[in-house]
Structure 1
Amino acid sequence: MSGVKLVYFNGRGKAELIRLALTYVGIEFEEVYLKEKSEIEKLRSDGDLLFQQVPLLEIDGKRIVQSGAILRYLARRGGIYGNNNDESTRIDELFEGTRDFCGPLLGMIFRPEEDVLKEAKEKLLPRYLPVFNKVLEETGSGYLVGKSLTLADLGLIEPLLILVEYLGDQVLTGYPQLQSFYKNITSDEKIASFLVGPHRKPKNDQAYVDTVRRVLNW
């Protein structure tokens, strides 16, 4: 074991992008899955969860919560957070946009799948796909910022993976830059390895939803 632990549920949620980032920057990690309410209560009583919620990443002698903070820590450590302040700021700007894009999609199964996908088609796709396609066209590098992969690119591939998985790759028709981006990013050796590896979680199912509700007492 590397000593790095990611504490969450055995499902995608807000930890899936953390899993991808850990894999991409080459950090081996162990997953600890919450299954019972008593487990998260112990983390809370021990003071491990600053805001009383997971994901929690134990790394370098630290316990980090808040998915955005975790991802930025990993991006800085892995050298995918830009080469200067201007690039880091642009990465932040675009990464936050990917979170707004992806957020509603993470509710799959917690909300009826047909409702989530209907909302995606009516609101998310026409709002976000043109923006990111234009940014990629402007950079001309195949990446959102600079000439190599950054946290912003990892942030964008998450909702695209979900959309293609549920709606098919035709969802990107009419957005040639995004089509190329999707192909190139998913063909990256480390990302391709993650997508077929043990840390990649399957679609949300009822068992996952039931576990989350039991642990969080929903």
Structure 2
Amino acid sequence: METIRWLLAAAGVEFEEQYIQSKGDLEKLKQDGFLLFQQVPMVEIDGMKMVQTRAILNYIAGKYNLYGKDLKQRALYCNISKFGAMDLGEMIMALPFKHSDAKEKEKETAVILEKATGRYFPVFEKVLKDHGQDFLVGNQLSRADIQLLETILATEELKADVLSKFPLLKAFKTRISNIPTIKKFLQPGSPRKSPPDEKTVAEAMKVFH
């Protein structure tokens, strides 16, 4: 759900959240037929109950002009966000739920950081260098920029100086973070969520296991 929160916040859309607190809550949603693939998150928007994170993100991006101006830009945006920022972000998101053993978690964290600095971040650095613009696609804010910023901040949670060899990405992070709607989302008290701690992971596993 976090990337959906980011996208709505960047678009300046206020939203309310309802949390699943028990297996009973989840079963009720399933029985009521609201979860097409028996999965959450679910977003109620424009009279629809939408599921599947990628479908939700595509709808929000299209509705609020965060999808690129034309077919070519959308193809670039999809490649950049789906195969780059989203892939790396999903690895980081899954990390707290995969390993209870500290050594195994440390080992996988090292693998993720190696992929970030050796595979993903060099590509984004090159994209910014090659077209010399403020944003990843065209010259306007898109979902790709928002997802990349979210992923950068999540990676910095694992290693604070992870951008030390990527000056254009450092500048990108500062620039996108200062867009008013995003700056507001980064302030304390916003709907943005911190990385899950052990208690949060245990509660989630109890409901969804």
Task: State the TM-score, normalized to the length of structure 1.
Answer: 0.88
Conserved? CA contact 2:177–2:183, under 8 Å: yes
**Aligned with 2:143 (options 135, 141, 151):** 151
1:153-178: CA deviation from partner (whole Å, max 9, x where unpaired): 1111121011122311x211121111
Whole-Å separation in 2 of the counterparts to 1:182 and 1:115: 27
Which residue does 1:45 correspond to in 2?
Answer: 31
Percent of aligned positions that are identical: 37
Aligned to 1:61: 47
Match of 2:134 among 126, 136, 142: 142
Deviations 1:8-63 (A, max 9, x none): xxxxxxx1110011111122110001110011111111111111111110011001
Mark the runs of 5 or more structure 1 residues left unpaired by the alignment: 1-14
3-state SS, counterpart of residue 134 of structure 2: coil
Aligned to 1:3: none
Unaligned runs of 5+ in 2: 100-104
- Residue 203 of structure 1 deviates from its aligned partner by 2.0
Distance 1:35 1:116, change over 3 A: farther
How many Å separate the matches in 2 of 1:198 and 1:137? Answer: 32
Give the counterpart of 1:99 among 83, 86, 90: 86
Equivalent-residue separation in structure 2 for 1:126 and 1:174 (angstroms): 11
Task: Report if aligned partners of 2:10, 2:146 keep a CA contact under 8 Å in 1.
Answer: no
More off after superposition, 116-125 vs 139-148:
116-125
Within 1, Cα distance between the matches of 2:111 and 2:96?
14
TM-score (normalised: structure 2): 0.92
2:108 and 2:8 mapped to 1: Cα distance? 28
Task: Tell me, yes or no, if the aligned pair for 1:57 and 1:64 is still in contact at 8 Å.
Answer: yes
Question: Which stretch of the first structure deviates more once superposed, 57-66 or 103-112?
Answer: 103-112
Within a 5 Å distance, the mapping from 1:166-205 to structure 2 comes to: 166-168=158-160, 170-196=161-187, 197-205=189-197
Q: Is the 8 A contact 1:21 1:71 kept in 2?
A: yes
CA RMSD of aligned residues (A): 1.3
| Residue of structure 2 equivalent to 1:123 | 115
Segments of 4+ in structure 1 off by > 3 A? none
Q: How many residues align?
A: 202
Distance between the aligned counterparts of 2:50 and 2:184, measured in 1?
Answer: 26
* 1:125-168 deviation digits (Å, cap 9, x = unpaired): 21101111101111211211011110111111121011122311
Which amino acid counterpart does residue 168 of structure 2 have in structure 1? Q
Which amino acid counterpart does residue 207 of structure 2 have in structure 1?
A: V
Q: How does 1:17-28 map to 2 (within 5 A)?
A: 17-28=3-14
